[in-house]
Amino acid sequence: MASGITYQVCDGSPVTVVRLAGPLDLGTMRSVYEVLDDCLAAQPEALVVDLAGITVRDRLALSVFAAAARRAEEWPAVPVVLCDPPPDAERWLAESTACRAVPVRRDRAEASRVAGAASAPRLRARLEPVAEACRRARDLVADACARWNLPEAVGPASVVLTELVANAVRHAGTPMQVTLTLRRPYLHLAVVDGSRAGVRPRDPGLGGEGGRGLLLVRELAQRWGSVEAGSGKAVWAMLRTNAPGLAN
């Protein structure tokens, strides 16, 4: 990699491990984020970041791992664990308010065990861009909520996922992958399609079709958003499972 940061990815199941090497500073942290972002776009069950080969030239650059962990928390809703940092980096990570929430383990084996144990139950389905996709999305919600004992989540989750799928059918027009993940206290819903076109809610008072359903997503979800994912994008939403009217 031209930045001086190199990486090696091991797509082991269920944990993906990425080993970084080279100087980490404010100039290379963007490249590190892009590497981690690419790993997350593959939707692993968990991600371990091996820091044994890095040299930290600026402690502020360690915030890139907190940023990647926050990204992973929203989508694809997977745990991120760091391992084997150099002594200075280990101390700085422990002292950093931003990075304190990211687990750090001494070696890759322990980090993989921790990450694997923290991986969440999920259901996935591949849908074609046809009207029938919305019904299949609702069936998937019903199946997930029955498996995970979330009966009161069926209604709001069905509305949200139906809108995300309908938006992909209408505007992306590509096959899509639908994923439901339970990482308490949130039920995560995501649709990955093959279009990079962004999404945003439309004002109901404006003319034109599309986007108004996303206002429902905004009202029902705790958080939602859209990020690039491979050659397309992921549109995701998080619903609290302990909110009033939802099961714990």
Does residue 176 form part of some domain? yes
The sheet that has 104-105: what strands, in order across it?
6-11, 15-24, 46-56, 80-83, 104-105
* 1 domain residue, yes or no: no
pLDDT digits (tens, 9 = 90+) for 90-99: 999 999 988 9
Average pLDDT, the chain: 89
% of the chain exceeding 70 in pLDDT: 90
Q: In whole angstroms, what is the distance from residue 13 CA to residue 18 CA?
A: 13
Q: What is the DSSP letter of 78?
A: -
Classify residue 201 as exposed, middle or buried by CB count within 10 Å of its CB (0-12, 13-18, 19+): middle
Residue 2 confidence (pLDDT)? 44
Q: Are residues 63 and 170 in the same domain?
A: no
Domain match, 112 and 127 both: no
Using the predicted structure, report yes or no on whether residue 37 has a pLDDT greater than 90. Answer: yes
pLDDT at 245: 42
What is the pLDDT confidence band of residue 13, given thresholds at 50, 70 and 90? confident
Q: Residue 227: how many CB atoms within 10 A of its CB?
A: 17
The pLDDT tens digits of the residues spanning 128-147 come to 999 899 999 999 999 999 99
Looking at the fold, whether 50 and 68 belong to one and the same domain comes out as yes
**Assigned domain for 178 exists:** yes
- Tokens read off for 209: 């079709």
Q: pTM for this one?
A: 0.86
Other CB atoms within 10 A of residue 57 CB: 12
Residue 137 lies in a domain: yes
Verify cis geometry, omega within 30 degrees of 0, for the bond prior to 244. no
Whether residue 248 is contained in a domain is answered as no
Which of 118, 146, 178 marks a domain boundary?
118
The four Cα atoms 50, 52, 55, 61 give a dihedral, to 10 degrees, of: 30
- Examine the domain organization and report whether 165 and 98 are in the same domain: no
* 130 shares a domain with 112: no
- Identify whether residues 38 and 10 lie together within a single domain: yes
Taking CA atoms, 210 is separated from 49, 84, 206, in Å, by 40, 48, 11
Domain count, the chain: 2
CATH number at residue 135: 3.30.565.10
Higher pLDDT, 13 or 215: 215
pLDDT in tens, 223-239: 999 999 888 999 999 99
Residues 39 and 136 in one domain: no
Tokens of 192: 């990955």
Asked which of 102, 118, 134 is the last residue of a domain, the reply is: 118
216 located within any domain? yes
- Among candidate residues 89, 118, 147, the one where a domain is terminated: 118
For residues 130 and 215, state if they share a domain: yes
One DSSP character per residue, 81-134 reads EEE---HHHHHHHHH-TTTTTS-EESSHHHHHHHHHHH---EEEEEE-SSTHHH
**pLDDT recorded at residue 201:** 55
The answer to whether position 200 is within a domain reads yes
Let me know whether 135 and 200 are in one domain.
yes
Q: Are 113 and 128 members of one domain?
A: no
- Identify whether residues 191 and 227 lie together within a single domain: yes
* Angstrom distance (rounded) from CA 170 to CA 28: 39
Residue 246 within a domain: no
CA 58 to chain centre: 27
246 band by pLDDT with thresholds 50, 70 and 90: very low
Q: Do residues 97 and 195 both lie within one domain?
A: no
Write the CATH number for 83.
3.30.750.24
Question: Which value, in Å, is the radius of gyration of the alpha carbons in the chain?
Answer: 19
Give the domain range for residue 36.
6-118
